[in-house]
A and B are shown apart, each in its own frame.
Chain A
Amino acid sequence: MMTRSLLTSLLLASSLSAFAAVTDKVLVSDGYVREVPPGQMVSAAFMTLHNEDMDDHKIISASSPAAKTVELHTHTHENGMMKMRQVPNINIPAGGDALLKPGGLHIMLIGLTQELKKDVPVYVTIKYEDGSEKALSLPVKGMMPNAMTAH
């Protein structure tokens, strides 16, 4: 009897937590896509993800109409070289942040299908481990620090 009620409450608890999608628990801020030099066919999306939940969550994939392929990547510093590698997911720790920034974790846009212009937003959809998706409209940011402050 005892076991059964415990089981019921466990089931209830898990179904309750499953009720809210990850998209409701992870806040995305400061997102942008980096402008590219002429002829460059790859760019990257950067952002800060804050997890308000008590469980870790993960981005498992991303997609965008602006690129043929979208992959999750990171940089590591090994043997004196900067190495860029695809990662299976990006973890956003419970109560913490995942920072996607130059030189670190990022969402790679490979084979750009549109010219990246400063006044035209880029749409990127990120998918979490529960299958829920968050559509983002990201501004294109120039690389030059002076140019960024000049407007």
Chain B
Amino acid sequence: MKKTYFISTAAIATLGVALLFWQPWQSPQSHALLVTSQAPTGGDFTLEGEHGKTSLHDYAGNIVLLYFGYTTCPDICPTNLSNLSSAMRQLTDGERAKVQVLMISVDPERDTIEKLNTYLPYFHPSFKGLVGTPEQTAEIAKRYGAVYQKAAIGEGALGYAVDHSAFTYLINQQGQLVAQLPHATTGDEFVSAIRSQLTLK
């Protein structure tokens, strides 16, 4: 009896220690792009846009707010995009002319550029979508520290959903990644972040 008790205590302790060192983001069985502990480097990229090949450097001189999402995203993307929209509408015309919101689809198998450009203007007419091959998307996401993976939902009524990190990446007028803003950042917070970049010279 005592022995069993000892063994189970030892087992629990071992489990506790194991949990302490268990780092799910290093687990290899996940299809997710692994979250790395290094700071994301960001950088230039080229994908398919409304008018063909579109690169980040096409927006040099603008503050870019980059988001990784998808058009059948039921809740998370609409929340972020409507907050970004609210920020756009709070900016002055002069400020707004220097800001571009871009969404890279993390569901390149279903999202086409047409779908993205039907979806995004609902939030704000200036928002642009970009789509690439799964490989291109994965490579860019990795550089920005964005992670995503397909997830089966319910009885498959939705086809699938895409679990994804929901940061908005703030890129300065020189094309450098300067901040990642978390999910549900409010319109006011986006405005402050944008203005803090616009006043930097």
Residues of A within 8 A of B (CB): 34, 36-44, 68-69, 71, 73, 75, 77-86, 102-103, 106, 108, 110-111, 143-146
Cβ-based interface call for B30 (8 A)? yes
Residues facing A in B47-89 (CB within 8 A) are 71-72, 74-76, 78-79, 82, 85-86, 89
How far in angstroms is the closest Cβ of chain B from A76? Answer: 9
Contact B166–A39 (Cβ < 8 Å): no
Contact A38–B163 (Cβ < 8 Å): no
Contact B165–A82 (Cβ < 8 Å): yes
Set A41, A85, A86, A143: member contacting B78, Cβ < 8 A: A143
Main secondary structure of the interface of A (DSSP, over half): strand
What is the bound-complex CA distance between A145 and B190, given in angstroms? 14
Report B-chain residues with C-beta under 8 Å of the C-beta of A110.
154, 157-158
How many A-B Cβ pairs are below 8 Å?
Answer: 106
Interface footprint category on B: 35 or more
Report B-chain residues with C-beta under 8 Å of the C-beta of A34.
78
Contact A39–B74 (Cβ < 8 Å): no
Set A80, A102, A145: member contacting B187, Cβ < 8 A: A145
Cβ-based interface call for B193 (8 A)? no
Contact B118–A82 (Cβ < 8 Å): no
Nearest A residue (CB) for B34: A79
How far in angstroms is the closest Cβ of chain A from B185? Answer: 12
Cβ-based interface call for B25 (8 A)? yes
What is the bound-complex CA distance between A36 and B155, given in angstroms? 22
How far in angstroms is the closest Cβ of chain B from A83? Answer: 4
Instruction: With A77-B183, A80-B165 given, name 17 new contacts (CB 8 A).
Output: A34-B78, A36-B78, A37-B71, A37-B122, A38-B118, A43-B74, A44-B74, A71-B154, A81-B149, A81-B164, A84-B76, A84-B161, A103-B183, A143-B78, A144-B123, A146-B86, A146-B89
